[in-house]
Amino acid sequence: MSQPASVRIVEVGPRDGLQNEKAIIPAATKIELIDRLSRTGLRTIEATSFVSPKWIPQLADAAEVFAGIARDPAIAYPVLVPNEKGYERAREVGAQEVAVFTAASEAFNRRNTNAGIDESIERFRPVLERARADGVKVRGYVSTVLGCPYQGEVPVADVVRVAQRLHALGCYEISLGDTIGIGTPARARAMLHAVALEVPIAALAVHFHDTRGQALANILACLEEGVAVVDSAVSGTGGCPYANGATGNVASEDVVYMLEGLGIATGVNLPKLVETGLWLSAQLGRETSSKVARAGV
Ligand code: HMG
Ligand code: MG
């Protein structure tokens, strides 16, 4: 079994985590969260999303949040954009990296973005063109890679095709999302293996929600398949309002703890990350989902 020497964690808590909160979190709290995360050694922090505020009111303050954070030049702060309008809003406040998102399942993509897969990719085309001209990096997400809340099973061939299209369009990295946390390790590994036959493994990331407690096992299987970029959310917050029953992302603290135990470098200071996660759960008024944080590292 091989494994990478180091892994880059893409911290998605401020976006994937906070987009699903019932209560509206003040912008100042979001800014403080990102600033605290910036001091933990993370190199990529997804800050917010410039989607329609009617669809995701939780992140309607994206511009205020992005403009308010103390950006560390050594850290990338990607933001989600669904279309050219989102790109323009993100650029107005100085975003240097954006992420576009579609799905392997037609039904989910319609619920999430009011567009079919092809139509959503057409919306990205001008975003990628402008990003190339502006020197902005673009990450791509494929959702529902191991199952869909509306369609059920999702053929691996559909995941491969969508990932390949995003890569061909110019996304430097494709994050493969188990949106509803339905996958198990052998299926996760087989899916990643199939995608990696068409898109270089160095351009792939994995994104697991932990709905059924399988996320760490799935990540381990994917590490053995050679992936070296893992998305996770501090305190295990998260979920997609358009994916029924999906719960939080795998907790960043638990991922870092596992990686350290495997001798895989992350550059993240675990005690500082745990402290940040506990601070966040206090702000949200509930217990952290990170088992490592609960156990006291
Ligand atoms: P639509 O209603 O079909 O869009 O939504 P539209 O183009 O017809 O526009 C409708 C209104 O929205 C217009 O305003 C537009 O100006 C406005 P009105 O004229 O009615 O006042 N609008 C915008 N406003 C601000 N920023 C924008 C924007 N675009 C349009 N960018 C749309 C289509 C894609 C915009 C909508 O469906 C949307 O925003 N969806 C986003 C849903 C979302 O954010 N989901 C969660 C993120 S994905 C996820 O969590 C999965 C992931 O974590 C991976 C995984 O776990 O699998 C990434
Ligand atoms: Mg997600």
Degrees to nearest 5, angle at CA 230 with 38 and 91? 55
Q: What are the residue ranges spanned by the domains of the chain?
A: 8-295
Q: In a structure prediction context, what are the per-residue pLDDT tens digits for the chain, which is 297 residues long?
A: 689 999 999 999 999 999 998 888 999 999 999 999 999 999 999 999 999 999 999 999 999 999 999 999 999 999 999 999 999 999 999 999 999 999 999 999 999 999 999 999 999 999 999 999 999 999 999 999 999 999 999 999 999 999 999 999 999 999 999 999 999 999 999 999 999 999 999 999 999 999 999 999 999 999 999 999 999 999 999 877 888 777 899 999 999 999 999 999 999 999 999 999 999 999 999 899 999 999 997
Cβ–Cβ < 8 Å for 276, 37: yes
- Give CA–CA dist 184/164, Å, rounded: 23
**Is the CB of 238 within 6 Å of ligand 1?**
no
Distance 101 CA to ligand 1 centre (A): 11
Tell me which amino acid residue 115 is: A
**Is the CB of 89 within 6 Å of ligand 1?**
yes
- Give CA–CA dist 105/150, Å, rounded: 9
Distances from the Cα of 57 to the Cαs of 20, 22, 24, 25, 61, in angstroms? 10, 10, 8, 10, 8
Distance 184 CA to ligand 1 centre (A): 30
Read off the tokens for 34.
């990102």
- Give CA–CA dist 281/271, Å, rounded: 15
- Give CA–CA dist 254/270, Å, rounded: 9
Distance 280 CA to ligand 1 centre (A): 26
Q: How many C-beta atoms surround the C-beta of residue 203 within 10 A?
A: 18
Report which protein residue has its CA nearest ligand 1's atom 32.
113
The atom number, within ligand 1, closest to the CA of 246 reads: 56
Task: For 47-110, give the DSSP string.
Answer: -EE-S-TTT-GGGTTHHHHHHHS---TTSB--EE-SSHHHHHHHHHTT-SEEEEEEES-HHHHH
Q: What is the fold, at CATH topology level, of the domain defined by 8-295?
A: TIM Barrel (3.20.20)
238: alpha, beta or left? (left if phi > 0; alpha if psi -120 to 50): left
- Give CA–CA dist 111/150, Å, rounded: 9
Query: Is 171 one of the annotated active-site residues of the chain?
Result: no
Read off the tokens for 297.
């590292």
Cβ neighbours of residue 130 closer than 8 Å, sequence gap 6 or more: 84, 87, 136
Give the DSSP letter of residue 13: I
